[in-house]
Structures are given as C-alpha cells and as structure tokens.
Structure 1
Amino acid sequence: MNNAYFSFPMPQNEPVRDYAPNSADAKNLKAAIADLKAQVRDIPMYIGGEEVRTDNKVSIHPPHETAHLLGHFSMGDETHINKAIEAALKARDQWAATSWEHRASIFLKAADLLANKYRFKMNAATMLGQSKNAYQAEIDSACELIDFLRFNVHFLSQIYAQQPISAPGVNNRMEYRALEGFVLAITPFNFTAIGGNLPTAPAMCGNVIVWKPANTQVYSASVFMEILKEAGLPDGVINLVYAGGPTIGDICFKHKDFAGVHFTGSTGVFNTMWKTIGENAPHYKSYPRIVGETGGKDFVYAHPSADADAVAANLLRGAFEYQGQKCSAASRAYLPSNIAEAVKTKLLAEMKTLKMGPVDDFTNFVNAVIDEKSFDKLANYIDGVKNSSDAEIIAGGSYDKSKGYFIEPTVIEAKKADYVTMCEELFGPVLTIYVYDEQEWDSILDTVDRTSGYALTGSIFAKDRQVIEYLTKRLVNAAGNFYINDKPTGAVVGQQPFGGARASGTNDKAGSALNLYRWLSARTIKETFVPVTNYRYPFHQEG
C-alpha cells in the first residue's frame, strides 16, 4: 500500500577529508592502496545477475607505475552487448513500476556505503587506476559521486511533486514515466563520479542501462558496481560491459528499443553518434534522448585590474590539478601587459615546488597522464613548441615514460593568439599563455570568445565591479560554467551544475534537475468526475 507522499529534502554536500599526515584517514587510505596493490583482480562484466568473464583478458597497470599489474578485465564482444540489452529490457517493466521511495532508497544506501564502508577502497582504486592524488580522488570518487546520488534523489522528488492545476469537476495529474527502451551510458576515464552518475541518473528515473566505461576506468567502475549490488540494485537494471566503442555503438544505435545515450567524451565521437542516431531514427520506437558533455578549451582572462597573485595561484590549480585531465582545466590564459611579468614570475616560482611522482607518496601534487596515447600526443605538442618561432616553453617541457606516463607541468608562451596550443584541446598539464596590450583589454575578448569552438568553462579576473559585469555579459556564450576571480575547475553538485554548449555538449547540467528531465517521459492525465451527456454547448441553444 502506498498512500503517503515521501520527502527527500535537500542534502548537504559530502565533507571533503584532507588526509593530513599521520591522520587516521591517511593511514586507512594508504592501507587500502597497499591492499589493492597486493591483489591481482579478475574483473568481470555484470550482465543481468551474472558475473561474466571471457578469455580475452586486458591487463590493468597504474599509469604512474606501468610495471605493476593490478589485474585484468574481460573484454566482451557483440554477444555480450546483445545479452546486456536483453537483460536490461527484461528488467525494465518491473524496475519502472517499482515505487519511487524504494528506487530512491537503493541509491541513498549506495551513497552511505560509499561514504563509509567503501570510501577508502573507492579512492584507492581511482588513485591506482587513474593516477589521481589523494585529494583529487577524494573530491571525485568519494564526495562528488556521493553528492550525485543524494542530490539527484532530492531533485527527482521535486520533479515528481510538480503537478498541473485542476479546474472544478476535473482532476489533472502528471506522471513521469521511464523512457520506453534502454539507455546507453558511455563514461570517460577522468572522473569516477561521472562514471557513476551517467548510468545512475537515468536509472533513478526508472530506466534500464547498458554501461560502457572507458577501458582506463574499468578498475574503479567495477568497485562502484560492487556498491550498487550491495545497495540492492536489482539484476539487469545497470549492466556493465567492456567492449570497443564502435562495436557497442553499432549494436545499440541500430536497436529498435534504443531510448537514449548519456555520454561524456570527445566531440568527434559525439558528432558521429549524433549522425548515426539521426540516420537510424525511423527504426526506433521513440526518438532517443541524446545527452552529451564533450570537450573544452577553457580560458582564463585577466583584466588589467586583476590581482597578479590570485591569477597565478588559480592558474596553477586550474591547469595542473589532476595533470590537466579535466574537461574544465585551464588550458589558455590571456594576461594583460601591466601584470603579465608579475604573474609569470609568481607562476614559475611556484611551479618549482610542484612534486611529481606516484600516488602512493601523498606529497606529490602531479601524477601521470592516463596512458601512452595521451603521453605521446602531449610530447608531440611540446616538441612542436621547441621547433617553433611562434611560441616558447617558459617552464617545464620535459617528459618521461620509462616508469610511468609522466609529463612535467609545462607553460608555453605564445607569440600569436591563434598558436595551435591556444586553440586545440590538449588534455594534459600544459598551459599556454598569451600576453596582450593592456590597452586592448576589450578587443581581445573577441579572441577569447572565438578562438575555440568549445564553450565549457572559463574564468575572468578583475577588481573593478563594472568591468566584472561587462565581462560577464560580453562573454555570455563563451562558457556554460563561468567563474569570477576563481579557477575554471571544481564544480560542486548542487552548487554549480556542470555543462557547456557549442562544441562542448548539450549543456544538460549534470548535478541538477535539468539533467534528470531528459530521462523522463511525461504523461498528462485528465479525469472528469461527471462527464457531459449532451454534445451541445450553450451557444447552440436558441434564445
């Protein structure tokens, strides 16, 4: 019997633990790292209620310690993708019909499990598999993922409470149905929280999911599946499969029951997906929902009134935290000539204090980039600067993959505002700065706005309030997440819903109700208590 309205109030953001030296948290996290490193894990796919293993094993090595073997995962093929779709569709009707308070309780329990029992294991898995330091792992794989689970429950309860008005003699109501089919979640390597949110947000709405994580995030994704299973998620609601992107796309995008895709990845891949879905539109039961967050070439613009120390400190954090492998990372900076030397002096001095190395040493600020492909790409850009007359390296510029994929934090000064590293997404610890004439602080804004096709995040630094207002309006379409006197990274669930437009995606704002609406199909119901028995209206009557 369900005869009550259930309340899921606004939660508090999960407190971030600091892992100070010799603290209990630091000791527990180091123990969890040591425990995982002592294992060679055999990671299965999860299809329906089964753990599925294959003979096609892919080894997992920490990017910062490539000689160490963490385990293997089983690579799937077409048969496994089809089985995952079948398992999802089999679970759909019962899951969609499950009372909201019971669906919500599963994800709230998962959040509590992650906040306590699994916190150190999840952080350790992210640190080892994705080469994050302790703080970056904590804010991602613990706090942000916990926040996604708890806040999405709250936001969805608010959506369900939104009902139309009713006239006398009529009752109007709105149902928010799950989509008719399955949702494909394709998740990236760089955030464990995104890996968890992309399948769970639509699942919370009653949808069933086929989840394909990046191969470089399988290690932590498998831990999250353990949490979901322990929290009571029914078999088949989320099916975790490992397969090549083209293979899974070819099967899912041709399936008549394909209902939507929740994606984070490259703009090129997203464009191809959109085209393929459009070509297959006549074959689908319903028009699929296409939700994507893609790339970024995120800017920092300093006005002549900006504080040089603040600009330098935020460039350090914005560009080099997690090796610049955030979609929101500060990648290009525009410095006015009056403070440029002060900013560069401060920036370069502080960079000398940045320690780089494996995640086990908690004093390291910078770790390794994700894989050899990324390493080689970044090394090529750095070598290009060394051979160019249009830019120069003013800090860093070294790289070494003998033990791990280490790219030294690097600052490039471009002599032209359209130099390649000012325009193209690098996704690594490489920051390019351009010094402009302080008198041209207004005209350079056209360059800031138009240099990149992306519009994900951006920062402005200024002290003058009128200038701040002007810049905010002038750059209105340049970034979906816009920061004033702060770095362009670090969006918090419930505080700064995340997403950008232009080539950066559909701007559906993960961490807000806007995203959840995309996974719902509304049905309006009108009930008339006493129906008419005569078709005639009063104006038909004779006087």
Structure 2
Amino acid sequence: MTVSETGSASLDIATEDERIAGLVDLVTVADSTTETIPVEAPFDGERIGAIPACGEADVELAVERAREAQRSWAERDIAEREEVLSRFQDLVLDRRKELLDIIQLETGKARRTAFEEVQVVALTAGYYSHRGERFLGREKRKGVMPVLTDVEVNHVPVGVAGLISPWNYPFELALSDALPALLAGNAVVIKPAEQTSFIALKGKQLLEEAGLPADLFQIVTGTGPDIGPTLTETVDYVGFTGSTATGRIVAEQAGRNLKKCSLELGGKNPALVFPDADLDRTVEGMVQGAFSNTGQLCIAIERCYVHEDIFDEFVDRFVAATEELELGATYDFKPGVGSLVSEEQLEKVTAHVEDAKASGATVHVGGEARPDLGPYFFEPTVLTDVDLDMDLCCEETFGPVVSIYPFSTTEEAVEEANDTDYGLNASVWTSDTEFGRDVARRIRAGTVNVNEAYGATYASIDAPMGGMKDSGIGRRHGKEGLLKYTESQNVAVQKGQGMAPPDGVPFWLYAKLTSGALRLFDKVPGLR
C-alpha cells in the first residue's frame, strides 16, 4: 500500500474554522443552552470547533417551530416544493468543493468517497424534484358500486419528521432522507451525529438559500441518549440510520409512542464469486465494495465466498489489488482510502482483527494500524481461515476488513450468504447474468447487486433500498421513500343510492340482489 503525498492537497484550516464557526448559528437552541461538545478532525486528531450540547428544551423548541412552519408549507403547490429541490440540486453541484472539504474535515474519509455523498444527494434532489405530482397527486381507485361510488386516495403529510443520521455518510444520510420528507409537505428536525454535525448544517444553509422556509428544517446537535428520546416523543415520524443495537432502542421508543418509523441498520454483507466471473472486473469491484469509506459503510462487503475452482487465484489477485490501494490524509482525489472516524472505531476494528489472528486466521495483507499517517488510520486487511468462533466472522466490523471463504456448490454459497442475522446488501459475480439474477432472488437481503458491489442498487434512486431481518424496516428511495412520510387517506363520494336497502325493499331481497351483483361484477372485465 502506498502513502499519498500531501503537497498542495492540504486545507486552509483557518479559513475552514471561520466557515464552520458560522454554521453553529443554524442550530436550534434555547436561551439556557451553554454547554458544547468538541469536534475533531480524524486526519490529525486536532479540534476543529464545537457544537451546542442540546437538551430536551432545545428539541421541544425545534419541533414547535417546525410544526408551525409545516402548516403553510403543506398548503403550497407540489410544484413549488419541487422547485426548491431543483434549486438545491444546482447549489449542491455548484458548491461541491466546499462540501467535499467539510465532509473530509469531519469524517477523515478519502475525497473520492466524499464525492459519492455529494453525487447521491444531487441525484436524490433531482429525482424527487420531477416526481412530486406523480407520487403525491390524488389517485383514483375503484369504488364498491360502479358509477355510484367515486373513490380517491390522498397522501397527507405526517407533520414533523424526526431524523437521526449517522457519522459515516453525514451529508447524504441527513439530506437524502430529508428531501422526500420535505417534498411530501412535512417539516424536518434532524439530530446529526455529534462527530459530523457541520456538514448537516451546511445542507440546511443551502436548502434555505434554495428557498426553503427557515423554520421548516431544524437541526439539534448533541448525543443520542441526551436528546434522542425527546425527539422520538415529540415528532410524528422517526427515521434512524445506524447500528442495529441502537435501532432497537429507537424502534421501542417509537412504538411506545405509536409513531411510524423507518430504520436502516447494520449489515454483514456477503459477496458470491462464481467460477465464470470476470476476475479483472470482479476484483476491481470487490476492492471498491470492501474498502470504500475505509469500510465504514453499512452496505460494504465484509464476507466474500469464492468458488473453490478459482479460490487461490482470486485471493492472489484480490490481495495484490488491495496492496495497490493508496492511503492518505489529503484533500485531493489521489488516495483511495482515508482514516477511520475515531479512536472508538479504531479500537473495534483492531480488536476484531487481533481476535481473528489469535484464533488462527491468516492475514494476507494489512492487519495493522498506521499511526504514521494519522491517529485513526488502519490498513485495508484481507483474511482467510476465519471461522464461526471469531468475532470477525459474524459481527459487523465496520472497517477496512474482508474475510474470504471457499465454497463448492451454489446451494452452499447461498446458504452461507444467508447464515446471518443481517440482510442489508449482497453481491453476485458471474458472467451468466440470468444465473446471477436467480441467485440474487434467493439471498435474503434488501438489495442484491449482480457484477457490482453496492453502487448499482444504491444509486438507482427510482428503486427502494433497505434491509431485511436485523438490518432494519422501511425503505428509502423511490416512491416508497416518499410515501412513507405520508398517511394514506381514502375519500369516497357516494352518489344516488347509498349502502343500505332502498325504502320498501326487504333486507332478504336486498341481500339476494347484492350477492348476484357481486358475482356479475367479478365476471365482467372493467368492473373488477
């Protein structure tokens, strides 16, 4: 693995400090809030600023302001809401350098991965800005009595959506979830991860510049245990992206308060490589799928199952490609791998690898921290001989670590892929795409890619994305990702005869005639 040269690819920290300090003013705080939480840059561990440590009063104030603003926003034409998203897309693309700088400063990720965030937010804004009327407009449905019963379905905004977003993709997972909620006529209150709140605040600033009413999009900063419960209790909808353990807590709180919720949680994602796979393409895609964002990606590949006929060749090629990855703490597009986000994350990744090594796993490349690059760097790591007794085998590592296993039959591969409590993402690698589709349908995961690691499903915004099993409930993207922020309302207009027997008709005769009509309706095309 090579190390990137810093050269001119550094950031003017003084300028960034100024920029970031101004964003703090966008946090919703009550007069009594004075405590702050320091924020550091993972590249060097240095403090870059501080955010307010919000409490219950701040959350209640944010929700109150959002609820007031939502009433008039919901009355606006859908086309007006679409225009805000369209202008926001332009601003995201125009200001991408500034956005990339802030994302890297807060997360320590490689700039290539930061660009993925900007790209997906722009894609999401563009997608929904053209589909509001199509997805939210009144839908005609069949009435119980043809001609006499007119039925329509309206999609009514839930009110205030509360979103709890993570640190690994802080711009994308805050804004991409907020955009459809806003288009649906809701207000949004976001609690971003305390490590990465500044980029969410920058998103708020751009939305308001695009024409979004100021109070409609509120941000409260602080820790989950301090303000998460209050947020869940006071909003009308809860969206959470993060660990399965925390997701269970959020789901319990939402359920106790009878709030709708969606949860995108952890994954221990498998890849299945069949003997006819194009190994050049597969290795390239798998390296991206395993080590993008230094493996801190819920849909990243952590388990790789390779057919025994090509196992040795694949391992050799995959290890060689991993060795070529460039690590670096720079603000240019040269490095492919950046830093982990924190000491806590470094400790978890290190513990998984050390446990595997002590229990007999073979490390082919990597396996060590790199303090020479920065306090939280860890080498991309490839292991074999990993078994069920190792933490690495079954627990989500959320770092640049992948384990490779041989298989002999398709049935065995599918069984191994499904042998997990998680079901978020998977990939299948084969030259026979119809065979790949068939295998994909047998894998219990919310998204399955054929000859791609995760980008094909995730970037196809028109299709829903989410998890099965312990990987969550609900979906983002597509029509489903918009309508989840609404309540379906059935409105029926009855003309002429009502739903009871006409005057003077005995009920026995009414029942007989109605039964006959039901039989007729079922047999006549167009009336069913």
TM-score by length of 2: 0.86
**CA apart distance, 1:539:** 4.3
AA partner of residue 269 (structure 1): T
User: Which residue of structure 1 aligns with residue 398 of structure 2?
Assistant: 427
2:103 aligned to which of 126, 136, 151 = 126
Q: Is the 8 A contact 1:309 1:343 kept in 2?
A: no
Alpha-carbon offset, residue 526 of structure 1: 3.1
Which residue of structure 2 aligns with residue 277 of structure 1? 254
* Corresponding residue for residue 504 of structure 1: 471
Which ranges of structure 1 fall in alignment gaps of 5 or more residues?
1-26, 282-287
- Matches of 1:89 and 1:253 in 2, distance apart? 14
Structure 2 residue aligned with 1:36: 16
Write the deviation string for residues 228-282 of structure 1: whole angstroms up to 9, x where unpaired.
1111211321110012212223223334xx311011111111111222232333x
- Between 493-502 and 122-131, report the one with greater CA deviation: 493-502
2:194 aligned to 215, 221, 228, which one? 215
2:161 match:
183
Deviations 1:367-413 (A, max 9, x none): 10111110111111122123222x12111011034633101101111
Q: What's the counterpart of residue 343 of structure 2?
A: 372
Q: CA RMSD in A?
A: 2.9
Q: How does 1:108-123 map to 2 (within 5 A)?
A: 108-116=86-94, 118-123=95-100
**Counterpart residue number, 2:125:** 149
- Residue matched to 1:342: 313
Contact 2:33–2:55 (8 Å) recurs in 1: no
Check whether the contact 2:162–2:232 (CA below 8 A) recurs between aligned residues: no
Verify the 8 A CA contact 1:144 1:493 in the aligned structure 2. Answer: no
Trace 1:392-411 onto structure 2 (pairs within 5 A): 392-401=362-371, 403-411=374-382
Corresponding residue number in structure 2 for 1:193: 172
Structure-2 change in CA distance of 1:473 and 1:88 (3 Å) = closer
1:457 maps to: 425
Match of 1:324 in 2: 295
User: Deviation at 1:535?
Assistant: 7.0
Separation of aligned partners in 1, 2:110 and 2:231: 36
Correspondent of 1:313 among 265, 272, 284: 284
Do structure 1's residue 239 and structure 2's residue 218 form an aligned pair? Answer: yes
Partner of 1:520: 486
Q: Secondary structure at the match of 2:327?
A: coil
| Counterparts in 2 of 1:221 and 1:352: CA distance versus 1, 3 Å | same
Structure 1 residues 465 and 525: CA distance shift in structure 2, 3 A: closer
Structure 1 residues 383, 470: closer, same or farther in 2, change over 3 A?
same
Q: Distance in 2 between matches of 1:536 and 1:442?
A: 63
The residue type equivalent to 2:248 in the other structure is N
SS of 2:452's equivalent? coil
For residues 453-486 of structure 1, the C-alpha deviation after alignment (integer angstroms, 9 at most, x for no partner) is: 11111111223466435423432x2x11111122
Check 1:111–1:464 CA distance in 2 against 1; reply closer, same or farther (3 A cut). closer
Report how many aligned residue pairs link the two structures.
496
Change (3 A) 1:228 1:153: same
Distance in structure 2 (CA, Å) of the matches to 1:412 and 1:292 = 31
8 Å Cα contact 1:481-1:496 kept in structure 2: no
Letter in 2 for 1:378: V
- SS, match of residue 442 in structure 1: helix
SS of residue matched to 2:109: coil
Deviations 1:331-355 (A, max 9, x none): 0111222211111111222222211
Cα distance in 2 for partners of 1:535, 1:497 equals: 45
What is the aligned partner in structure 2 of residue 483 from structure 1?
449
**How far apart, in 2, do the equivalents of 1:474 and 1:254 lie?**
39
The residue aligned with 1:227 is 206
Using the alignment, how far apart are the partners of 1:159 and 1:246 within structure 2?
Answer: 36
Q: Quick one: structure 1 residues 415 and 227, their matched pair in 2 at CA, closer, same or farther if it must change by over 3 Å? A: closer
Distance 1:105 1:512, change over 3 A: same
**1:39·1:71 contact (CA, 8 Å) conserved in 2?**
no
What is the distance in 2 between the residues matched to 1:480 and 1:356? Answer: 31
**Counterpart for residue 284 of structure 1:** none
Question: 2:331 maps to which residue?
Answer: 360
Instruction: Quote the Cα distance in structure 2 between the aligned partners of 1:474 and 1:525.
Output: 40
SS of residue matched to 1:305 = coil
Indicate yes or no: 2:234 matched with 1:266. Answer: no
Aligned to 2:304: 333
Q: Which string of whole-angstrom CA distances, capped at 9 and with x for unpartnered residues, describes residues 270-311 of structure 1?
A: 111222232333xxxxxx211111111111111233333333
Q: Please tell me the residue identity of whatever aligns with 1:297.
A: K
Q: Tell me: CA distance 1:47–1:221, structure 2 relative to 1, closer, same or farther (3 Å).
A: closer
Letter in 2 for 1:442: E
Cα–Cα, structure 1 residues 370 and 537, in superposed 2: closer, same or farther, change >3 Å? farther
What residue ranges of structure 2 are gaps of 5+ in the alignment?
A: 1-7, 510-528
Cα distance in 2 for partners of 1:425, 1:344 equals 22
Give the match's secondary structure for 1:63: coil
Amino acid at match of 1:423: C
**Change in CA separation of 1:446 and 1:107 when aligned onto 2, cut-off 3 Å:** same
8 Å CA contact retained: 1:33, 1:121: no
Distance in structure 2 (CA, Å) of the matches to 1:113 and 1:97: 25
CA contact (8 A) 1:264 1:293 kept: yes
Output one character per residue of 1:102-130: Cα deviation in whole Å (capped at 9) or x when no partner: 222222211121122x2221122112212
- Paired AA for residue 403 in structure 2: T
Measured in 1, the distance between the counterparts of 2:455 and 2:404 equals 17
Shift of 1:531: 7.6
Which residue of structure 1 aligns with residue 523 of structure 2?
A: none
Amino acid across the alignment from 1:397: G
Residue 482 and residue 32 in structure 1: after superposition, are their counterparts in 2 closer, same or farther (change >3 A)?
farther
* Match status 1:251 vs 2:220: no
Aligned residue for 1:173?
A: 152
Identity %: 22
Cα distance change of structure 1 residues 319 and 53 upon mapping to structure 2, 3 Å threshold = farther
| 8 Å contact kept, 1:40–1:72 | no
Deviation at 1:92, TM superposition (A): 2.6
Q: Secondary structure at the match of 1:483?
A: strand
